Structure 1
Amino acid sequence: MIRVHFTAADVGRVTFPVEPHPLWEAALAARALGEQSVAPGVRRWRRTAAPRVQGSMRPLFKLISPGGLFPDFLTPSVSGLEPAVEALMETPADVIRDELEPWLPPEIDRYMRGLLEGRAGSRRALGNAVRDFHEQVLVPSSAELQRRYGADLGIRSQTLLHGGIDALLSSLHPDVEWSSPVLTTYSPVENWTADIHLNGRGLELYPSPLVTNCLAMDAPDRRPVLVYPCTDLDADTEPTATDALADLLGRTRAAVLRSLTHPATTTQLARRLGISLASTSDHTRILRAAGLITTHRAQGTALHALTPTARPLLTREEAQWTNLRRV
């Protein structure tokens, strides 16, 4: 069990990353590839990602415990892939030992021994492993992962706007329970309990399409992080209905419409679908002219949402749309 204890100040210091952190994504993806039981969305991603794993990436996988935990130093609070990898390789040897030694077996290989001793070769091997993993495993699927990440942020922003912080914390995931001032969820390790006292530090909520259960990080001198599974927008999608809508509107425009099940800005839409801002603006203009979406502009930002006319097109019970391909 993980219990996160809030003070009054912490309630006003709940934040989300604007975009995924490269090393968090690497750690969570490596963890997902080794898990026995995963959610359907993770399983879909793993089918295409697993064949891209190479031997050069082994140093990264060695830092993921059998229970799915990984050391805090693997996710430094530094923006950008290269700066984060550099910070990872510069982690002090005593920090590495403190975080790794408690769960390492008595006999460890040469690489792990070198990492514990702070040897340059082991540090370089870890940095190269993370770079290779990011380039070869994560980059090919980055558009889809960012689409799901952005879609979840859209859900949370709407919940916050309409229901406030209590509604936000109460609706993160079925495994998360909010009873002020404590947020409770299951631990990834059986029979293990952690109490995180925020004490004014606030909390970063991190939606991930690569996890099935919630994870928490509470490291000294850092804002605590709670990772929770993204809402799987594709879980209830009927393939034939999707194809029919694409036949009617075009594949990309149909994807834009489907993505707006949860309202989004132009930038969020572009990130979700992996298309340019210009293309996104063009598709939203056409959908707006057709009466399928509305656009509200405020402070230089355009927020797009479905109209009542559009919603039946995305409901699988609407048989006429499912059968369009047969006409």
Structure 2
Amino acid sequence: MIRVHFTAADLGRITFPVEPHPLWETALAARALGDRSITPAVRRWRRSAAPRVQGSMRPLFKLISPGGLFPDFLTPEVPGPGLESSVEVLTDTPADVIREELEPYLPPEIDRYLRGLLEGQAGSRRALGIAVREFHQQVLAPTSGELQRRYGADLGIRSQALLHGGIDTLLSSLHPDVEWNSPVLTTYGHTEGPTSDIHLEGRGLELYPSPLTTTCLAMDAHGRRPVLVYPCTDLPESDEDPSTNDALADLLGRTRAAVLRSLVHPATTTQLSRRVGISLASTSDHARILRAAGLITTHRTQGTALHTLTPAARPLLVGESRGIQGQIAKTAVQTEDSR
């Protein structure tokens, strides 16, 4: 069980990542490959992802404990988006930080790679960087479209929760195993275990939805904003083949429909390109056509274009989110009744 203690200041400092962090996704995906408690959605992902794992990725898996824990340095704060900059920060982690986080949990006898990592050897750092980069590119990238669709859909749910009922509804509707009783947010796992208390004390909280976990995970590292990872809402699966029954794709074309769906949460051109898995040039072209059709707007600031759905686009997507809207409205009523 994890208890997160808020102050009034922390309630105004709740944030979500605009898009998945490469290193968080890598760590959570590597963890999911060995997790026995998985949802049908994660099981489907694992069947597709597991055959792509290669021997060069072993240094990453050596940092994931049998219980699913991994060290904080595997998910560092990075100055900007992108895999390469993230890997660079990871491989520059000071040796004393690595020793502090790893040594208490390692057996007396460890292999050459881990010994080198503890000693700050360049070869072990390089091996970890290669493992993370190849895992992200070869295991995660082929399935990134579906993972990012679920991630973006969950952010859309949280936006609606905040609009319908404010912070109370947002925190009350995160997951069935998460309970909000102001000023404490409590998460319950699948099994009984020690209670961990996180006192935010004005630092705020980053909420991170993940389609690759079934339980909540928390990081409370010195000098960093705490992070609470929670399972994405499981969207209902259609029994119909989407390739033969996708009205929006029939109207706009499959790629352009994917671009529009991805903008449930606003995105820059680069972010949108990553979400849909197409080139920047193709993304810009689709955005131009959607903008000309009045379905999105684009705001440019300091050389960055941010794309957002217009009110005219939302009726095209409302059928896909009708069940989600009902869930949010129900949660808002329950929260109001409990006051």
TM-score class, shorter-chain normalisation, is 0.7 to 0.9
- The equivalent of 2:232 in structure 1 is 230
> Are positions 1:92 and 2:94 aligned together?
yes
- The equivalent of 2:164 in structure 1 is 162
Q: CA deviation at 1:307?
A: 3.4
Q: Which amino acid aligns with 2:309?
A: A
- Distance in 1 between residues matched to 2:130 and 2:298, nearest whole Å: 44
- Distance in 1 between residues matched to 2:64 and 2:191, nearest whole Å: 13
Q: Deviations over 1:254-291 (max 9, x none)?
A: 9659959x9555868876544635436646987x8xxx
Say whether the 8 Å CA contact 1:149–1:272 is kept in structure 2.
no
Q: Which amino acid aligns with 2:161?
A: T
- Distance in 1 between residues matched to 2:207 and 2:266, nearest whole Å: 20
> Are positions 1:72 and 2:72 aligned together?
yes
Q: 1:131-150 alignment to 2 at 5 Å?
A: 131-150=133-152
RMSD: 3.2
- Distance in 1 between residues matched to 2:156 and 2:84, nearest whole Å: 28
- Distance in 1 between residues matched to 2:63 and 2:113, nearest whole Å: 11
Say whether the 8 Å CA contact 1:147–1:271 is kept in structure 2.
no
- Distance in 1 between residues matched to 2:65 and 2:321, nearest whole Å: 45
TM-score normalised by length of structure 1: 0.81
Paired residue for 1:117, among 103, 108, 119? 119
Say whether the 8 Å CA contact 2:287–2:296 is kept in structure 1.
no
- Distance in 1 between residues matched to 2:317 and 2:222, nearest whole Å: 51
Q: Give the secondary structure class of the aligned counterpart of 2:114.
A: helix
Runs of 5+ consecutive residues of structure 2 not aligned to the other structure = 300-306, 324-339
Q: Deviations over 1:171-216 (max 9, x none)?
A: 1111111111001102477512210000000000111111111110
- Distance in 1 between residues matched to 2:144 and 2:33, nearest whole Å: 16
Paired residue for 1:179, among 168, 172, 181? 181
- The equivalent of 1:58 in structure 2 is 58
- Distance in 2 between residues matched to 1:113 and 1:266, nearest whole Å: 42
Say whether the 8 Å CA contact 1:67–1:189 is kept in structure 2.
no
Q: Deviations over 1:70-103 (max 9, x none)?
A: 0000011003322222222222222112211222
- The equivalent of 1:318 in structure 2 is none
Q: Which amino acid aligns with 1:212?
A: T
Paired residue for 2:203, among 201, 205, 213? 201
Say whether the 8 Å CA contact 2:291–2:297 is kept in structure 1.
no
Relative to structure 2, which stretch is displaced further, 143-152 or 122-131? 143-152
Q: Which amino acid aligns with 2:65?
A: S
Give the percent of matched residue pairs that are identical in Structure 1 and Structure 2. Answer: 67
Q: Deviations over 1:13-46 (max 9, x none)?
A: 0001111111111101100111122112211211
- The equivalent of 2:286 in structure 1 is 279
**Distance 1:277-1:192 versus aligned 2 partners, 3 A rule:** farther
- The equivalent of 2:337 in structure 1 is none
- Distance in 2 between residues matched to 1:86 and 1:307, nearest whole Å: 43
Q: How many residues align?
A: 306
Relative to structure 2, which stretch is displaced further, 131-140 or 298-307? 298-307
**Distance 1:258-1:109 versus aligned 2 partners, 3 A rule:** same
Q: CA deviation at 1:243?
A: 3.1
Say whether the 8 Å CA contact 2:13–2:203 is kept in structure 1.
yes
- Distance in 2 between residues matched to 1:229 and 1:84, nearest whole Å: 23
Q: Give the secondary structure class of the aligned counterpart of 1:199.
A: coil
- Distance in 1 between residues matched to 2:99 and 2:44, nearest whole Å: 36
Q: Which amino acid aligns with 1:174?
A: P
- The equivalent of 1:29 in structure 2 is 29
- The equivalent of 1:7 in structure 2 is 7
- Distance in 1 between residues matched to 2:120 and 2:240, nearest whole Å: 51
Say whether the 8 Å CA contact 1:264–1:303 is kept in structure 2.
no
Say whether the 8 Å CA contact 1:266–1:302 is kept in structure 2.
no
- Distance in 2 between residues matched to 1:111 and 1:308, nearest whole Å: 53
TM-score normalised by length of structure 2: 0.79
Q: 1:241-252 alignment to 2 at 5 Å?
A: 243-245=244-246, 249=251, 252=254
